[in-house]
Structure 1
Amino acid sequence: MQLNQLFMGLLLLTGTQLKAQQINIPIETFSNALVLQTDSSRHLNTIYFGKKLLQQKEYDRIPGLYKQSPDYTGELASVYTTSGSRNLLEPAITVTHADGNNSLDLRYVNHEQTRISTDVTLLRILLKDPAYNFQVTLFYKTYFRDDVIEQWSVITHQEKGNVILSKYASANLYLRAGKYWLNQYHGDWAKEMQPEQTRITHGIKTLDSKLGTRTNLFQPSVFMVSLDKPATENEGTVLFGSLAYSGNFRTDFELDNQDNLKIISGINNYASPYTLKPAEEFTTPAFIYTLSAHGKGEASRKLHRWARDYKLLDGNGERLTLLNNWESTYFDFNENKLKELLKDTKKLGVDLFLLDDGWFANKYPRNNDHTGLGDWQENKTKLPNGIASIVKTAGLNQVKFGIWIEPEMVSPKSELYEKHPDWVVKQNKRQEYYFRNQLVLDLSNPKVQDFVYGVVDDLFTKNPELAYIKWDCNAVIYNAYSATLKNQSHFYIAYMRGLNKVLERIRVKYPKVPMMLCSGGGGRVDYNALQYFTEYWPSDNTDPLERIFMQWEYSYFYPSISSANHVTDWGKQPLKFRTDVAMMGKLGFDIVISHLSANDLEFGKTAIVNYNAVKEVIWHGDQYRLADPREGNTASVLYMDTQKTSGVIFNYLVNNRYDEGSKLPILLNGLDVAKKYTIKEINLYPGVSSPIDANQVYTGDFLMKVGFNPELKSSRTSVVLKIDAVN
């Protein structure tokens, strides 16, 4: 109480005294500055977000240059907009105090900056309500080199009773420009990452999900906002945003009466008012953003470097190529069939064999997707000698072994459901409703958390040589209810907290084991999940033509090393085309090797050798998108090492109409203008010669101003080129 009285005293100082105490907080990275400033009442506002100025004192001049319509509230530019007092627009936070009051007024108290490393700095800003013992601490974690900021909030209070949080955003950005364009994404199963670009108009545009799990199924949580004009690959100012949260999310875009843009992002408050006890801390997930003045390509490369260095599990490490049995066998396999596939794995030359769905359950055998989820014992009919026998056979074939699980889910027809119906997310007064013939386990329940952790731990305990996990999540949450949770309004948040606890426990005990984040495709792809997983599954749609478009869009936000791309029998394209597309990430195969022709098998084996020679630059180099498949007949992507000495270019014909091809040269990017380069075609199909002259020498200047033609046409629909600097 004394602290509140002291704080109130500070706020009653004369206007002259307060003006003298005006505080600027510049948050600077290599290229950009986000500048915060207190007003005469100690409200903290954003006065600038853009290119960094050479002299910090000049930031003070910026507010006076904007001659816009009045800000009647004084809160349009608030760094964390409240509700119930003066604000008339969308808030970042809404509360009901212990005495029933719905208003909130947050004012600056202090800030502290801590240098974590030469590249990373953490800024903490304390805001407090002068009338209530309620505070919000804003955190800004800046990654200087990559111009990336992680922002989140911690909400707490010391009131005499509980406080209800009705909204609790992670971040509240404020942008000033003449016009704004939003790039967002939508989709469904097998149709992930479909882009849409629209100009932002007045009112509120909301991107959100209420699915509980697999929350990116219809609406991914990533977006771009272009300022003044739509950004292209290499031109324009653009903001990339991504909420690091695997549960329900919400991002609001509101163009206000001054024509400025407010972006508020955080956990979706849908059906989730949160009862906050005194002294309890509510920590929001991180909102991640980067601003580029040189187009979408630069923004994506910044985000890729940041992700590999700081967020993606083992982002600068290696990955395993694999052969998966799913499209070869589906549920129909046995021990002998798997052992034959293991021989094929060795023959092809990949690192690992992955056993997919269908290996478990006995009372209700997992012979289709209607039964068995939750009963994680080896099926005795299919695997009479258990998983251990398959692991041993893999070792004898000099390949590693991985396995599929879906531990968050349960089949209604399972022993687990019969024994623990109270572990299942369902409402007893409602008819059960299924997604993919299954329900979700209640991870808000600590006993369920122990069970899910135990599924993974038991597999490794019994099979220490297990080398890979494919973690699936195919259902959304219907009839949300927890049998053990006292406050059902906390369910969606408690579920995600439970999932994170399980994943944290797994990574403490098994810190390096590769795990694929699969969710029936791209249903759960975000930077919260990817701190526990080495890769994600973009889509169950593995048609290579479709994948070119999907992988293109995913690649803006996620580095290629995190994208699991498999060669399958989807689509009508030849094996070479399918393999070339899958090589733009972490390569895998899901085909029947014994069904390949001699030439196809020879090509596949050679392609893996070629991939192993260039995978380092694909995984850890800089990506440049050269030809957009949505804007022409060709798609072209370059991966270049940071020294600009070696790279690989993937080129595809995406229009099969008569006489289409690469009629014009494609401009390269990311080269050194002064260096000289040779370009050689690799990954040729047996018996095919290349029209590319591998001895021709080009300057980087020529290739970036005039370009290079990969000679795509109906008989050359996929061309992979190796580019190398020469003395």
Structure 2
Amino acid sequence: MPKPYFRHLFIGFLLIKGLISLDVQAQSSQIPIETKSKALVLEYDSTKTLRMLYYGEKLSNIKEYSTISKGYKQMTDYSGLSNAAYTPSGSKNLLEPAISVIHADGNRSLDLRYVKHEVKSIDPNSNQLDITLKDPVYDIYVVLHYKSFLSEDMIEQWTTIQNKEKKSISLEKFASANLTLKSNAYWLRQYHGDWAREMQVEEAPLTHGIKVLDSKLGTRANLFQPPSFMVSLGEKASEDEGTVLMASLAYSGNFKIDLEVDYLNNLRIIAGINNYASTVTLQSNQDFITPKLIYTLSTEGKGKASRNLHDWARKYKLLDGNGERLTLLNNWEATYFDFNEQKLKGLLQDTKKLGVDLFLLDDGWFGNKYPRNSDHSSLGDWEPNRQKLPNGITTLVEEATKQDVKFGIWVEPEMVSPKSELYEKHPDWVVKQPQREEHYFRNQLVLDLANPKVQDFVFQVLDDLFTKNPALAYIKWDCNAVIYNAHSAFLKDQGAFYISYVQGLYNVLERIRAKYPKVPMMLCSGGGGRVDYAALQYFTEFWPSDNTDPLERVFMQYEYSYFFPAISTSNHVTDWGKQPLKYRTDVAMMGKLGFDIVVSHLNDKDLLFCQNAVKTYDSFKDIVWHGQQYRLADPRVGDYASIMYVDDQKSEAVIFNYLVNNRYGAGSTDPVRLQGLDPQKRYQVQEINLYPEISSTLENSQIYSGDYLMKIGVNPDLNNKRTSVLLKISAQ
């Protein structure tokens, strides 16, 4: 008899071929969602109340899920809704709700009862469960969607709220997901930050009451706090041990995640769009679809959860996640706003000399009535500046072609400068309160993407660039401002503004990708202020932070890597920090490599090193982009960080090692145990990306068994003279 996992794959194949079908009416009160090794189990009782029974290891006997609840001897659940699958407000619920409604008659109560469920096979690796709930009194339906990915142990969850009443209703809360977890303790790993301080980590036990992770910024939603988090159950999970839920809300606007430890000691997680200053008016026969909460459960620590998420993201969510990426040279730190056509042509020659694929022209190329010579003007006036670029962008694209490199360009199309022709012509396109003083974030304001005319304008900015420059090969899309004085001159209902803005953004991105499906685009937001999977489905990569100090980046990239695969992370070599060029380059290689340096200022050895580094990177980049990641040493715990990537055949690997403590005697005193190799294979360990005329201190001819490397390890010999060491592992 086939194993359960392969049985599910076989059933999925039969469903797709139409050889079997699933009865959409429930034959049992138990509704299990099983993946390769995990199960999320829902059930309903005689009252048709749908509850979340279990989330954990999959059982071999599906009938035994029904006995799980008998093992819990908790206090009285007075309402019977403490573990509701989607908790309503205004009826008998006593805890935080997932949904709050004002009916057409003014009544605020809601009760949701099971009606039916249906399972659809999307492909042999993914199924979708849709469960319909209905209020017995009012014609309000809620459909809970669970899309499961078998191989990756991943679930996407979202909700459709349907108004079948004869008049409009108001939604005051509208969560995507409502999970209930049971344990004797819960540890939350969350993140905070600001510009140049992204992904600062905190981990602490959750106590009774509600912990809220949220954003009210409108744009750059995760500038202060990202919508990604982890919860360890029982003990605090380590990299390789413990039970941990890893989750991320796929939404680019205001979000809210409630983590409530209730009086029964359950953890209730309610996640979705933030209802702050937002009320959704739902007309009769209108639906509202929430964004998706993406999550996975690991019983093998944070590393396994992360690898699940990476595999899923590359395969299903990240644009061209299993494809290629372009290395590049950016002009920003070489020129800032001070450049002209001749200077840029010189940088195009430097791009070829360096050996990277693409030249990226950053901010400062546009504006005529108000030239873009600083960040105080010109946003919105997307015409090449005639003084800097008398022949426009086209000449530069042609020059790039002559140099056998590609050409990319920076835009910030959602924003407008008060000092711009666009602002003068269309003040009603700007997000602002009509009777209040304007308040600027980085000297700019936000365009009202709730307005279809503004959506057309933003699309046209990109479309014009591509139409006039068909060889344009890359876009860096920035978004630097948050929303102050939130108000849309277009919308009659201001309660819809924040949500309508984000929907307008997605509408534009959909149009761009419909016409230009394959052009690589970087998602930038004054650094990492907008990094979520709803946005990343339109982008090939994101910019983690404007802080490119390599020491800071080791810590940031380490934390980002839990939620986002390396192929999605843009890292540039710059002059930030005090670390040597090799350290800066090695850190940037741990993702998608770029340079933001003055190539002409490099001495001969530095230039040779960079040229060789690009070739070295090209030799192993596929392992980093598409391989399995293992975190071997946490920079917050010891003197160094060690991160490993292994290809799917377990034939090749690359290990990045960085000294993060400069105190006397700091270094790698012990061997670093490797992971993900084949214990039966034999491997050569070789130091790579060495600076010219520097020899390795390691014995590169030594051959080790995979068993030895994973049980004993290898010492990269990090010290104050060897602050960054890259190792290549090759099966012999």
- TM-score class, shorter: over 0.9
Tell which deviates more after alignment, 703-712 or 486-495. Answer: 703-712
Residues 1:699 and 2:705 aligned together: yes
Alpha-carbon distance in 2 for matches of 1:206, 1:344: 49
Residues 1:451 and 2:457 aligned together: yes
Residues 1:215 and 2:239 aligned together: no
SS in 2 for 1:115: strand
Tell which deviates more after alignment, 697-706 or 326-335. Answer: 697-706
Measured after TM superposition, the shift of residue 64 of structure 1 is 1.2
Amino acid at match of 2:382: W
Counterpart position of 1:500 = 506
Counterpart position of 1:519 = 525
SS in 2 for 1:344: helix
Counterpart position of 1:546 = 552
Alpha-carbon distance in 2 for matches of 1:21, 1:652: 57
Q: What percentage of aligned pairs have identical amino acids?
A: 67
Measured after TM superposition, the shift of residue 675 of structure 1 is 1.3
Alpha-carbon distance in 1 for matches of 2:675, 2:640: 16
Tell which deviates more after alignment, 594-603 or 155-164. Answer: 155-164
Amino acid at match of 1:674: Q
What does residue range 650-689 of structure 1 map to in structure 2 within 5 Å? 650-689=656-695
Measured after TM superposition, the shift of residue 692 of structure 1 is 1.3
Counterpart position of 1:115 = 121
Pick from 279, 286, 291 the counterpart of residue 273 of structure 1: 279
Alpha-carbon distance in 1 for matches of 2:352, 2:492: 53
1:196-238 alpha-carbon deviations (Å, 9 max, x no partner): 0010000000000000000110000000000000000000000
Counterpart position of 1:614 = 620
Counterpart position of 1:240 = 246
1:535-576 alpha-carbon deviations (Å, 9 max, x no partner): 000000000000000000000000000000000000011110
Measured after TM superposition, the shift of residue 660 of structure 1 is 1.3
Amino acid at match of 2:585: T
Pick from 53, 63, 67 the counterpart of residue 59 of structure 2: 53
What does residue range 82-481 of structure 1 map to in structure 2 within 5 Å? 82-481=88-487
1:92-140 alpha-carbon deviations (Å, 9 max, x no partner): 0000111111000000000000011110101110000010111000100
SS in 2 for 1:290: strand
Q: TM-score, normalised by structure 2?
A: 0.96
Alpha-carbon distance in 1 for matches of 2:218, 2:613: 40
Alpha-carbon distance in 1 for matches of 2:229, 2:110: 30
What does residue range 596-611 of structure 1 map to in structure 2 within 5 Å? 596-611=602-617
Counterpart position of 2:69 = 63
Alpha-carbon distance in 2 for matches of 1:658, 1:542: 25
Counterpart position of 1:590 = 596
What does residue range 607-646 of structure 1 map to in structure 2 within 5 Å? 607-646=613-652
Measured after TM superposition, the shift of residue 40 of structure 1 is 2.1
In the superposition, relative to structure 1, how do residues 596 and 154 fare at CA in structure 2: closer, same or farther (>3 Å)? same
Counterpart position of 1:490 = 496
1:62-86 alpha-carbon deviations (Å, 9 max, x no partner): 1111110010010000000000000
1:23-67 alpha-carbon deviations (Å, 9 max, x no partner): 100000001000000022000001111000001000110111111
Alpha-carbon distance in 2 for matches of 1:429, 1:121: 51
SS in 1 for 2:404: coil
Aligned-residue CA RMSD in angstroms? 0.8
What does residue range 25-64 of structure 1 map to in structure 2 within 5 Å? 25-64=31-70
Measured after TM superposition, the shift of residue 184 of structure 1 is 0.2
Alpha-carbon distance in 2 for matches of 1:667, 1:178: 32
Alpha-carbon distance in 1 for matches of 2:648, 2:230: 25
Alpha-carbon distance in 2 for matches of 1:46, 1:497: 30
Alpha-carbon distance in 1 for matches of 2:53, 2:434: 52
Amino acid at match of 1:678: Q
Measured after TM superposition, the shift of residue 21 of structure 1 is 7.6
Runs of 4+ in 1 over 2 A off after TM superposition: none
Kept in 2, the 8 Å contact 1:345–1:353? The answer is yes
Residues 1:76 and 2:109 aligned together: no
Kept in 2, the 8 Å contact 1:677–1:698? The answer is yes
Amino acid at match of 2:177: A
Amino acid at match of 1:42: K
In the superposition, relative to structure 1, how do residues 254 and 463 fare at CA in structure 2: closer, same or farther (>3 Å)? same
SS in 2 for 1:427: coil
Alpha-carbon distance in 1 for matches of 2:120, 2:108: 34
Alpha-carbon distance in 2 for matches of 1:30, 1:676: 30
Tell which deviates more after alignment, 65-74 or 155-164. Answer: 155-164
Aligned residues: 707
Measured after TM superposition, the shift of residue 22 of structure 1 is 5.7
Counterpart position of 1:7 = none
SS in 2 for 1:492: helix
Alpha-carbon distance in 1 for matches of 2:231, 2:225: 16
Measured after TM superposition, the shift of residue 667 of structure 1 is 1.1
Q: TM-score, normalised by structure 1?
A: 0.97
Tell which deviates more after alignment, 655-664 or 563-572. Answer: 655-664
Amino acid at match of 1:522: G
Kept in 2, the 8 Å contact 1:618–1:648? The answer is yes
Alpha-carbon distance in 1 for matches of 2:128, 2:78: 33
Measured after TM superposition, the shift of residue 642 of structure 1 is 1.1
Kept in 2, the 8 Å contact 1:445–1:485? The answer is yes
Measured after TM superposition, the shift of residue 160 of structure 1 is 2.2
SS in 1 for 2:685: strand
Alpha-carbon distance in 2 for matches of 1:119, 1:21: 24
Kept in 2, the 8 Å contact 1:22–1:40? The answer is no
Measured after TM superposition, the shift of residue 697 of structure 1 is 1.0
Alpha-carbon distance in 2 for matches of 1:411, 1:476: 13
Amino acid at match of 2:76: P
Alpha-carbon distance in 1 for matches of 2:153, 2:88: 28
Alpha-carbon distance in 2 for matches of 1:28, 1:279: 33
Tell which deviates more after alignment, 703-712 or 400-409. Answer: 703-712
SS in 1 for 2:621: helix
SS in 2 for 1:666: coil
Amino acid at match of 1:595: H
Kept in 2, the 8 Å contact 1:22–1:39? The answer is no
Alpha-carbon distance in 1 for matches of 2:184, 2:650: 37
Counterpart position of 2:12 = none
Alpha-carbon distance in 2 for matches of 1:451, 1:582: 35
